[in-house]
Amino acid sequence: MISRKRGLPADNGEQDGPLVAPKQQQIRAEGKRHAAAVILARGGSKGIPLKNIKMLAGVPLIGWVLRAAVDSDMFDSVWVSTDHDEIEKVAKSWGAKVHRRSAEVSRDSSSSLETIQEFARLNPEVDVICHIQATSPCLHPHHVKEALEMITLQGFDSVFSVVRRHQFRWKEIKKGSDEMTKPFNLDTANRPRRQDWDGELCENGSFYFATRDLLMNKGLMQGGKIGYYEMLPEYSVDIDVDIDWPVAEQRVLRYGYFGRVTPEVVQLMFCNVSGCLTEGRIFLSVSGEDMVSVNTRDAMGIRMLKGEEVEVVLLTSREDPVTKSLAEKLAKRMGCEVMEVGEEPLNDLKLVVEKKKLEWKDVAYMGNDKPDVKCLNLAGLSAVPGDAPTVAINAAKYTCHKVGGLGAVREFAEHILLQKQKAKAQMKQDRIDNSSF
């Protein structure tokens, strides 16, 4: 999908400047301007407690925008401004620096501008501050890249995100008033059809970028030579109250940014048996045989992956061994290889990846505890069950709603297949777009 971008000069006689010749990398190399992404994440959200780190589609809410900011490769630094210890931990796990804001700008009445100005005072090296809202989980790297270039390459002082709306607005009449309502943007005698009306541009709250001079010397987030960046409606998601959450989750699963890896290249999935495919328990029969319980939904999830030509390898641990006979039964039942790994699974699995001539971006990994952290970080797609410890959740790219042994593997399988479908649809759209030129 080609993003639509337009710059709108302020009413000060200035027009859009021509695109400056130097590329962004050259500008950075010359040390001209330091661009910092700043996400405000106060702990005292009134609508949804600790909203900024609540899980949305398997990822902490703030993780969606942090991933987009980091992967854009446009920022010299990425920050989260917070007053809360747990938010700080999550922010760091997603690659951000942390600005511990003061009590003066952490009140309910504190404005975003005040908080950003405090950040700017404490970080004098920053020249362009890019305020990205944590509540905009469908943000993609190309959105921030193209918007920031309007400042760094085209000479705008401030740029903010908008979405096009086709809504007729009417004047509100207070109760008891004799006044009559009237339309603000509609001629009722010539009511246009939607396809005949361009609609109106409305702020969607995804981001506000501004130069240091505008923020500190003029006290404005929007001013000087003002530009807007138009985002398509499907990417304009904002979350304020609980009722928004399930709707936003479905939107994010379809339109969210899941990382640099192109999902359709995933060819191999490693999945822990204990704690993922099973509840982590081994049952002992009267005869002394080991037994495990496998959910039929999880078994179907593995078959679904195999049907899409994704090889699945089940992992057992030498530290928590499964008997050879049980491993053989699992392999036969699930139709895939069962492999034993050591205390550090990566040491064994990297040899498998190399032997199959794959890269880790081609691999999906499902683990559930501290020994899995390196693999969870390295894999192109990774997940943990919903009952995994924090250390594993922070390393995974997706956290399942379901717990180990009760549908988590099926959920991750569906997630992998959804990303493959999205990637194929994107490739098809790109071909259509390219053929238009």
String of b and e for 191-225 (b: at least 16 CB within 10 Å)? eeeeeeeeeeeeebbbbbbbbbebbbeeebbbbbb
Residue 87 exposed, middle or buried by CB count within 10 Å (0-12, 13-18, 19+): buried
Retrieve residue 400's tokens: 């399942």
Strand ordering across the sheet containing 35-40: 97-100, 77-82, 35-40, 128-132, 200-211, 158-165, 226-231
| Rounded Cα distance, 6 and 431, in Å | 23
Q: How many CB atoms lie within 10 A of CB 351?
A: 10
Is residue 60 within 8 Å of 96, Cβ to Cβ? no
Annotation marks residue 194 as catalytic:
no
String of b and e for 110-131 (b: at least 16 CB within 10 Å)? beebbbbbbbbeebeebbbbbb
* Identified catalytic residue from 4, 107, 191, 318: 191
* All residues at 6 or more sequence positions from 259 whose CB lies less than 8 Å from its CB, including other chains: 67, 71, 380, 381, 397
Q: Which residues pair with 37 in a beta bridge?
A: 78, 130
Q: How many CB atoms lie within 10 A of CB 316?
A: 20
Residues belonging to the active site? 191
